[in-house]
């Protein structure tokens, strides 16, 4: 048999050069074939397709160039074939060396060995909300740092006088009567608290309830633990007077009296200041009634201490609570532990909650002279001591209490701040083990398809070490220091795409044994494999990289970091496949391939004759007969190809696809942003269950912590000059201050007036959280004025009553340097736990040790709390109202204090609200841009417009299908979903690009091209799909919702990509039969 010249073009090369007469006859046959109606064409046989493929090589050798030798073989491949072991170990050594350098450059220099940029402070740097947030946050840190530098921040802290940790108990009733309808349920809840209260060791860790005047505290002073915050205080009162309770209930049954009490509110208390304009609206009779009624309630509640036995009449106690929640000034006593459906009409609370307080430090401590890092170490030691004590003494009992089998009438859940990190770590560990199953399957599937343990290990090594090498490129070369936790997804991305590249390369190597003309020697054969796969994988890798780089359009650094890192990983994976794995295949060919059945797993010497020589001899011995190929390849070459070529099948596929896409479009248009807190764990996990109950089932109670919204004067806007968080993650800019800020007498008056309005004006009800009928406002000016008049804050009754307002209370700014240090050391009158003024107003007082840089007033939001992530819908509603309030504040205060007000929160709720909007925009923009980039890359690489268009249409259908399915599954557009939608294009391009490129470089008419494309890449694309889909299944069972949703997303995207590429894209090509010119210059349409 005459040998054809070597292949010298990508994948499949230019048509052979025949004598002119033969060439004209062949072109005439092709033209006539393309004009033949479908019904008259025979389905192409496998042998015909093989022959067409074998004839599609250059008849003339490729000219020698800097890349190829005189035979047209690639010089780099020749080098690999001649020195495979040296190059193999050189690449291994280089990869390991780069990993070692990465360890030195990143891990050893990372704080606590954590290379990830800590989550938080993630926002659009140029958004007004982030600018105001950093203006306040950085300014507060700056003035506090200045005070630390001046040695003004140290203080003496009494043993167990500060909250070290809190523990929530959350209860869910299993009976219609609720948690307080029977003694069994109440006693079951009491058991949870008795775990600690009955333990003598608890006193060494509880929060002490010190008297306000600490000068009276001595070593012999008896201090009790602070009682838990729970309704059980009432049910286990040390004294219960049923007659007095009945009298109060009877009076509260009169709606007019409830209305009068709510009208007067806190002004009924003569010890609390009430603005004169409000006092004038009350009659003396109303004031007397409110005051006398308040004394009755106070006498009843004074014995609620959880020190007695369960009271006899629990129904009466529940009824009293149902009426007390109707009165603003009394609601705070009981509302914390009853759910939002609890009322007079429905006195059955299905949920309850309580808090246990843990104190610290565990010795009297003076932090004067300690640096910030030293103070952190001291606090960490206390945290560790408490955590270890709880784990050793209580955790088993807590788990027993929360066991569903423990109590028949209720379910108990808990979470504790001291051990929450360990709980999350356990969850991450369990989810990590599930991820190992995914990687184990990838390894096993590679082993199955390569037929070699050696290639499987090398392939898995290549996939795994793509991460550290890409990380080296990302951090050391590009100097990008922001390493997002999102980057962990690159592990799953490279596992899917890396395995796909391995299958493409290995299948090309296997197919090369059927082409006689390239079996001259291994150099020629591997050059053909290298060209055949290199260009195809380069196109898919470039398209995927570009799709991930589309994330750069977002202003969020974490997503930008992820996009760049994912692109680096895909690039490195491609490089390692074309270098390390290629070299491994040469070694496999030389030493292992024909001995696989014997189980040879060590270098047994180079085989003679070689596998390539044996393959050539087998074809020659067959006398041109069709060589038997593997069953899967034949299935795609014959069954799948012929299925697509039948018009009736294409009609059915068209109906199915159009119907599905129509439904998906309809569903996709219904997607909407989430209106609830985003869950981070599975909804059935006990921790998530407790968080969901706390979030959804309780009203905003007096003792709930609301998100603080700050109104500050004296702040300038943060200077963002030179800020690039990718390169400097901790650089947010430099805080600035208004040079003309004037804390004059009138400014102080207006600040106090503004805080009074926030506390008492009824129009702010529903916006500002109320406690005992008064808005929760943090106004240091009130206590500063009282301190200026009295010289101390020892008499809180006088401070709260406000008699100091009748004196000249305004502070001379010249006296501030002497007054402020003493003032900040005082115990505040507006907290029950002995908190200092410096602690309570740590953000509101802009004192730097020498001057008052800014002054702020804050108020707690009634709807938002500092925990979790609320929906954009809810947050924006509240934000808009606080903006209107800021405009009012500007009109009242700014004219006297100089400078505009800066309104922000410091819990990142407002900036996260904007982030949610960015997530949606980024999802849409990245998806569209990814499809456009795929179109451009395909158009440039194939120079065939309709192939690029149809492939892009396939990717679009995948995008629509995934989004539509997400809606059908009940997903809303939260941060997780938006990020995933944004990277769909990056995941969905591979299969259609591979088939499109294979179709374009094939020869013959449309059906022959389809047969050849399926025969060459059908099995590779199928293997890639199977690997990704099955590897994603273990992620379904992850407890962390991000990974669970990512697994679902990955499975959907890969499955839809494979379906639309094989049966949508290829059917469209078969149906339209748009002819292609033979490969050359210019557009081939």
Is 434 a residue whose pLDDT tops 90? no
Coil, helix or strand at residue 870: coil
289 close to 297: Cβ distance less than 8 angstroms: no
Band the pLDDT of 587: cuts 50, 70, 90: very high
Coil, helix or strand at residue 867: coil
Specify burial of residue 537 (Cβ count, 10 A radius: 0-12, 13-18, 19+).
Answer: buried
- Which pLDDT belongs to residue 675? 67
Q: For residues 317 and 180, give the distance between their C-alpha atoms in angstroms, rounded to a whole number.
A: 9
Per-residue H/E/C for 412-429? EEEEECCCHHHHHHHHHH
- Which pLDDT belongs to residue 974? 73
609 upstream amide cis, omega within 30 of 0: yes
Percent residues over pLDDT 70 in the chain: 88
Band the pLDDT of 3: cuts 50, 70, 90: very low
67 close to 75: Cβ distance less than 8 angstroms: yes
- Which pLDDT belongs to residue 744? 92
Q: For residues 516 and 514, give the distance between their C-alpha atoms in angstroms, rounded to a whole number.
A: 6
pLDDT one-digit tens code per residue, 789-835: 999 888 888 888 888 998 999 999 899 999 998 898 888 888 866 68
CA 64 and chain centroid, separation: 53
Band the pLDDT of 599: cuts 50, 70, 90: very low
Q: For residues 51 and 45, give the distance between their C-alpha atoms in angstroms, rounded to a whole number.
A: 10
146 close to 370: Cβ distance less than 8 angstroms: no
Per-residue H/E/C for 61-89? CCCCCCCECCCCCEHHHHHHHHCHHHHHH
Closest by CA to 550, choosing from 1046, 855, 923, is: 923
Q: For residues 1015 and 1003, give the distance between their C-alpha atoms in angstroms, rounded to a whole number.
A: 13
Band the pLDDT of 218: cuts 50, 70, 90: low
Band the pLDDT of 657: cuts 50, 70, 90: very high
Whether pTM > 0.75 for this model: the answer is yes
Is 90 a residue whose pLDDT tops 60? yes
Mean pLDDT, rounded, for 721-745: 92
Is 368 a residue whose pLDDT tops 70? no
Is 883 a residue whose pLDDT tops 50? yes
Is 662 a residue whose pLDDT tops 80? yes
Comparing 80-84, 537-541, 1056-1060, the range with the smallest average pLDDT is 537-541
Instruction: Residue 840: count other Cβ atoms within 10 Å of its Cβ.
Output: 20
Beta strands in 301-384 (DSSP E): 351-360, 365-366
- Which pLDDT belongs to residue 780? 94
Is 381 a residue whose pLDDT tops 70? yes
* 782 Rama sector, left if φ>0, alpha if ψ -120 to 50, beta otherwise: alpha
Residues in the chain: 1085
Quote the mean pLDDT of the chain.
84
- Which pLDDT belongs to residue 631? 79
HSE of 343 in the Cβ direction (CA atoms, 13 Å)?
A: 5
Is 57 a residue whose pLDDT tops 50? no
Q: For residues 234 and 252, give the distance between their C-alpha atoms in angstroms, rounded to a whole number.
A: 18
Specify burial of residue 95 (Cβ count, 10 A radius: 0-12, 13-18, 19+).
Answer: buried
280 upstream amide cis, omega within 30 of 0: no
pLDDT one-digit tens code per residue, 840-865: 999 999 999 889 999 999 999 998 98
- Which pLDDT belongs to residue 8? 35
Is 351 a residue whose pLDDT tops 50? yes
Tokens representing residue 991 in the block: 């299969």
- Which pLDDT belongs to residue 42? 38
Per-residue H/E/C for 99-161? HHHHHHHHHCCCHHHCCCCCCCCCCCCCCHHHHHHHHHHHHHHHHHHHHHHCCCCCCEECCCC
Comparing 169-178, 448-457, 482-491, 844-853, the range with the smallest average pLDDT is 482-491
| Close Cβ partners of 152 (under 8 Å, ≥ 6 residues apart) | 821, 824, 849
CA angle 730, 736, 737 (to 5 degrees): 145
Q: For residues 706 and 748, give the distance between their C-alpha atoms in angstroms, rounded to a whole number.
A: 26
- Which pLDDT belongs to residue 54? 41
713 close to 856: Cβ distance less than 8 angstroms: yes
More confident residue, 313 or 979: 313
Is 13 a residue whose pLDDT tops 70? no
Going by their DSSP bridges, the two strands 777-778 and 770-771 should be labelled as unpaired
Q: What is the dihedral of CA 884, 888, 891, 897, to 10 degrees?
A: -100
Q: For residues 326 and 336, give the distance between their C-alpha atoms in angstroms, rounded to a whole number.
A: 13
Tokens representing residue 988 in the block: 């969905």
Is 40 a residue whose pLDDT tops 70? no
Letter string b/e over residues 756-789, b meaning 16 or more CB atoms within 10 A of that residue's CB = bbbbbeeebeebbbbbbbbbbbbbbbbbbbbbbb
Q: For residues 202 and 393, give the distance between their C-alpha atoms in angstroms, rounded to a whole number.
A: 10
Coil, helix or strand at residue 993: helix
More confident residue, 513 or 265: 513
Mean pLDDT, rounded, for 420-430: 81
- Which pLDDT belongs to residue 237? 94
- Which pLDDT belongs to residue 231? 93
- Which pLDDT belongs to residue 700? 81
CA 601 and chain centroid, separation: 44
Q: For residues 718 and 735, give the distance between their C-alpha atoms in angstroms, rounded to a whole number.
A: 5
Band the pLDDT of 26: cuts 50, 70, 90: very low
pLDDT one-digit tens code per residue, 287-332: 788 888 888 898 999 999 999 999 999 999 999 999 999 988 888 8
pLDDT one-digit tens code per residue, 556-570: 898 889 889 999 999
Q: For residues 294 and 303, give the distance between their C-alpha atoms in angstroms, rounded to a whole number.
A: 15
Band the pLDDT of 46: cuts 50, 70, 90: very low
- Which pLDDT belongs to residue 51? 40
Mean pLDDT, rounded, for 78-106: 91
Closest by CA to 96, choosing from 455, 462, 440, is: 462
Residue indicated by tokens 């998806």: 927
Q: For residues 520 and 507, give the distance between their C-alpha atoms in angstroms, rounded to a whole number.
A: 19
- Which pLDDT belongs to residue 7? 36
Closest by CA to 174, choosing from 410, 413, 412, is: 410
* Strand partners for 1040: 681
DSSP assignment, residue 10? S
Is 422 a residue whose pLDDT tops 70? yes
| Close Cβ partners of 667 (under 8 Å, ≥ 6 residues apart) | 963, 964, 965, 967, 968
- Which pLDDT belongs to residue 148? 77
193 close to 300: Cβ distance less than 8 angstroms: no
Coil, helix or strand at residue 673: strand
- Which pLDDT belongs to residue 579? 93
Sheet bearing 351-360, strands edge to edge? 351-360, 162-173, 410-416
- Which pLDDT belongs to residue 411? 93
Backbone φ and ψ for 872, nearest 5 degrees, come out as: -60, -35
Mean pLDDT, rounded, for 725-754: 92
Q: For residues 539 and 940, give the distance between their C-alpha atoms in angstroms, rounded to a whole number.
A: 10
Per-residue H/E/C for 1041-1055? HHHHHHHHHHHHHHH
Coil, helix or strand at residue 33: helix
More confident residue, 150 or 102: 102
Coil, helix or strand at residue 301: helix
864 close to 706: Cβ distance less than 8 angstroms: yes
Tokens representing residue 67 in the block: 């890349």
Q: Of all helices (H) and strands (E), which one includes residue 905?
A: strand 902-905
CA 314, 319, 322, 326 torsion: positive or negative? negative
Q: For residues 752 and 788, give the distance between their C-alpha atoms in angstroms, rounded to a whole number.
A: 14
Q: What is the dihedral of CA 437, 440, 442, 444, to 10 degrees?
A: -130
- Which pLDDT belongs to residue 784? 94
Band the pLDDT of 788: cuts 50, 70, 90: very high
Percent residues over pLDDT 90 in the chain: 40
Instruction: Residue 969: count other Cβ atoms within 10 Å of its Cβ.
Output: 11
Band the pLDDT of 1060: cuts 50, 70, 90: very high
Q: For residues 662 and 807, give the distance between their C-alpha atoms in angstroms, rounded to a whole number.
A: 75
Q: For residues 767 and 860, give the distance between their C-alpha atoms in angstroms, rounded to a whole number.
A: 9
Most confident of 83-92, 331-340, 493-502: 83-92
């Amino acid at each position: 048999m005459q040998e054809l010249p070597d292949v010298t073009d990508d994948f499949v090369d230019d048509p052979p050069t025949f004598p002119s007469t033969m060439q004209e006859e062949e072109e005439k046959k092709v033209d006539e074939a393309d004009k033949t109606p479908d019904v008259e064409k025979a389905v192409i046989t496998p042998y015909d397709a093989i022959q067409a493929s074998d004839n599609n090589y250059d008849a003339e050798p490729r000219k020698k160039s800097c890349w190829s030798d005189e035979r047209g073989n690639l010089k780099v491949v020749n080098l690999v074939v001649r020195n495979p072991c040296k190059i193999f170990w050189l690449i291994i050594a280089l990869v390991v060396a780069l990993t070692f350098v990465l360890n030195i450059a990143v891990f050893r220099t990372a704080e606590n060995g954590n290379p990830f940029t800590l989550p938080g402070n993630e926002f659009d740097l140029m958004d007004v909300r982030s600018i105001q947030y950093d203006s306040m946050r950085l300014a507060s840190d700056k003035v506090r740092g200045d005070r630390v530098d001046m040695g003004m921040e140290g203080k003496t802290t009494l043993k167990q006088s500060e909250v070290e940790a809190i523990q929530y108990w959350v209860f869910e009733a299993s009976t219609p009567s609720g948690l307080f309808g029977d003694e069994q349920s109440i006693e079951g809840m009491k058991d949870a608290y008795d775990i600690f209260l009955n333990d003598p060791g608890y006193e060494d860790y509880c929060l002490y309830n010190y008297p306000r005047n600490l000068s009276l505290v001595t070593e012999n002073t008896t201090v009790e633990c602070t009682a838990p915050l729970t309704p059980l205080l009432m049910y286990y009162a040390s004294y219960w007077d049923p007659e007095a309770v009945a009298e109060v209930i009877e009076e509260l049954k009169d709606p007019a009296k409830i209305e009068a009490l709510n009208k007067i509110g806190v002004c009924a208390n003569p010890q609390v200041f009430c603005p004169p304009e409000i006092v004038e609206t009350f009659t003396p009779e109303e004031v007397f009634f409110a005051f006398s009624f308040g004394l009755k309630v106070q006498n009843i509640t004074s014995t609620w201490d959880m020190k007695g036995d369960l009271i006899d009449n629990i129904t009466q106690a529940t009824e009293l609570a149902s009426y007390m929640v109707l009165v603003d000034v009394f609601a705070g006593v009981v509302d914390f532990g009853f759910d939002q459906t609890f009322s007079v009409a429905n006195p059955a609370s299905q949920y309850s909650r309580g808090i246990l307080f843990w104190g610290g430090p565990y010795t009297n401590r003076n932090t004067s002279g300690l640096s910030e890092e030293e103070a952190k170490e001291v606090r960490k030691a206390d945290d560790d001591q408490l955590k270890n004590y709880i784990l050793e003494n209580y955790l088993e009992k807590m788990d027993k209490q929360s066991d569903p089998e423990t109590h028949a009438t209720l379910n108990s859940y808990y979470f504790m701040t001291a051990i929450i990190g360990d709980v999350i770590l356990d969850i991450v560990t369990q989810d990590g083990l599930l991820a190992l199953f995914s990687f184990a399957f990838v390894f096993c599937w590679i082993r199955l398809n390569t037929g070699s343990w050696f290639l499987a290990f090398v392939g898995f090594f290549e996939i795994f070490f793509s991460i550290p090498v890409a990380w080296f490129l990302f951090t050391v070369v590009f100097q990008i220091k922001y390493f997002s936790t999102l980057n962990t997804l690159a592990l799953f991305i490279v596992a899917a795409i890396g395995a796909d590249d391995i299958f493409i390369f290995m299948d090309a190597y296997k197919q090369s044994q059927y082409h006689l003309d390239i079996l001259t020697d291994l150099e020629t054969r591997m050059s053909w494999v290298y060209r055949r796969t290199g260009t195809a994988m380069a196109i898919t890798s470039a398209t995927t990289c570009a799709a991930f780089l589309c994330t750069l359009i977002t202003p969020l650094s974490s997503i930008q970091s992820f996009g760049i890192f994912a692109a680096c990983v895909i690039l490195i994976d491609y490089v390692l496949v074309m270098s390390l794995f290629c070299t491994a295949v040469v070694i496999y060919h030389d030493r292992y391939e024909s001995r696989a059945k014997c189980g040879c797993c060590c270098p047994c010497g180079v085989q003679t004759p070689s596998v390539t020589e044996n393959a050539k001899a087998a074809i020659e011995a067959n006398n041109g007969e069709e060589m038997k190929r593997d069953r899967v390849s034949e299935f795609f070459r014959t069954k799948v190809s012929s299925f697509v070529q039948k018009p009736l099948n294409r009609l059915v596929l068209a109906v199915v696809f159009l119907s599905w896409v129509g439904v998906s479009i309809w569903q996709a248009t219904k997607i909407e942003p989430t209106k609830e807190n985003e869950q981070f764990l599975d909804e059935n996990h006990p921790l998530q269950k407790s968080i969901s109950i706390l979030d959804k089932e309780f009203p905003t109670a007096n003792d709930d912590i609301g998100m603080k919204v700050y109104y500050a004067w004296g702040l300038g806007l943060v200077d963002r000059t030179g800020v690039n968080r990718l390169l400097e993650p901790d650089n947010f800019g430099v805080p600035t201050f208004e040079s003309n800020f004037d804390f004059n007498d009138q400014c102080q008056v207006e600040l106090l007036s503004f805080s009074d309005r926030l506390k008492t004006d009824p129009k702010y009800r529903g916006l500002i959280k109320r406690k005992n009928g008064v808005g929760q406002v943090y106004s240091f000016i009130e206590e500063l004025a009282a301190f200026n008049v009295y010289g101390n804050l020892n008499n809180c009754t006088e401070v709260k009553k406000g008699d100091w307002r009748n004196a000249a209370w305004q502070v001379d700014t010249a006296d501030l340097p002497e007054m402020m240090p003493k003032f900040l050391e005082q115990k505040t009158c507006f907290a029950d736990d002995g908190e200092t003024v410096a602690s309570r107003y740590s953000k509101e007082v802009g004192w730097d040790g020498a001057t008052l840089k800014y002054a702020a007033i804050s108020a707690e939001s009634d709807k938002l709390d500092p925990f979790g992530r609320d929906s954009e819908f809810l947050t924006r509603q509240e934000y808009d109202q606080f903006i209107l309030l800021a405009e009012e504040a500007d009109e009242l205060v700014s004219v006297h204090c100089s400078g505009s007000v800066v309104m922000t929160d410091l819990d990142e709720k407002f900036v996260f609200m904007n982030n949610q909007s960015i997530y949606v925009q980024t999802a849409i923009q990245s998806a569209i841009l990814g499809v456009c980039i795929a179109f451009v890359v395909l158009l440039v690489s194939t120079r065939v417009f309709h192939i690029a268009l149809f492939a892009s249409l396939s990717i679009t259908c995948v995008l629509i299908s995934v989004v539509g399915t997400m809606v059908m599954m009940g997903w809303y557009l939260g941060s997780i979903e938006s990020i995933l939608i944004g990277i769909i294009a990056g995941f969905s391009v591979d299969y259609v690009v591979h088939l499109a490129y294979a179709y374009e470089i094939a020869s013959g008419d449309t059906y022959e091209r389809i047969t050849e494309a399926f025969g060459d890449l059908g099995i590779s694309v199928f293997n890639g799909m199977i690997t990704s889909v099955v590897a994603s299944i273990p992620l379904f069972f992850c407890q962390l919702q991000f990974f669970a949703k990512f697994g679902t997303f990955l499975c959907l995207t890969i499955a839809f990509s494979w379906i639309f590429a094989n049966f949508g894209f290829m059917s469209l090509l078969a149906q339209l039969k748009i002819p292609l010119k033979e490969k050359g210059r210019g557009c081939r349409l």
